[in-house]
Amino acid sequence: MSRIALARYLTEALQQGRLADAELARLIETVADICVSISHDVAQGALSGVLGEAGTGNVQGEQQKKLDVIANDRLLEGCEWTGLLAGMGSEEMDEPYPIKAEYPQGKYLLMFDPLDGSSNIDVNISVGTIFSILKKQGDAPLREADFLQPGTSQVAAGYVLYGPQTMLVLSFGHGVVGFTLDAGSGRFVLTHPEIKVPTATKEFAINMSNQRHWETPVQRWVSEMLAGSTGPRGKDFNMRWVASMVGEVHRILMRGGVFSYPRDAREPGKAGKLRLMYEANPMSFLIEQAGGAATNGRQRILDIQPEQLHQRVAVFLGSKDEVETVTGYHG
Burial of 286 (0-12, 13-18, 19+ CB in 10 A): buried
- Distance CA(135)–CA(84), nearest Å, equals 10
Binding residues for Mg(2+): 91, 113, 115-116, 279
Rounded CA gap, 242 and 173, in Å? Answer: 28
Q: What distance in Å separates the CA atoms of residue 319 and residue 277, rounded to the nearest whole number?
A: 22
Check if the beta carbon of residue 115 is closer than 8 Å to that of residue 127: yes
Q: Are 201 and 256 in contact (CB under 8 A)?
A: yes
Amino acid at position 54, single letter: A
- Compute the distance between CA of residue 126 and CA of residue 242 in angstroms, rounded to an integer: 9
Binding positions for substrate: 116-119, 207, 273
Q: How far apart are CA 162 and CA 13, in angstroms?
A: 26
Q: Alpha-carbon distance 230 to 196, whole Å? A: 30
Buried b (16+ CB within 10 A) or exposed e, 157-171: bbbbbbbeebbbbbb
Helix, strand, coil percent values for the chain (each to nearest 5): 35, 25, 35
Residues contacting 33, CB < 8 A, separation 6+ = 78
Pairing outcome for strands 187-192 and 177-182: antiparallel
For the chain, the farthest-separated pair of C-alpha atoms sits apart, in whole angstroms, at 66
- Closest-CA residue to 148 (of 156, 140, 159, 137): 137
Written as one letter, the residue type at 275 is R
- Residues flagged as binding site: 91, 113, 115-119, 207, 273, 279
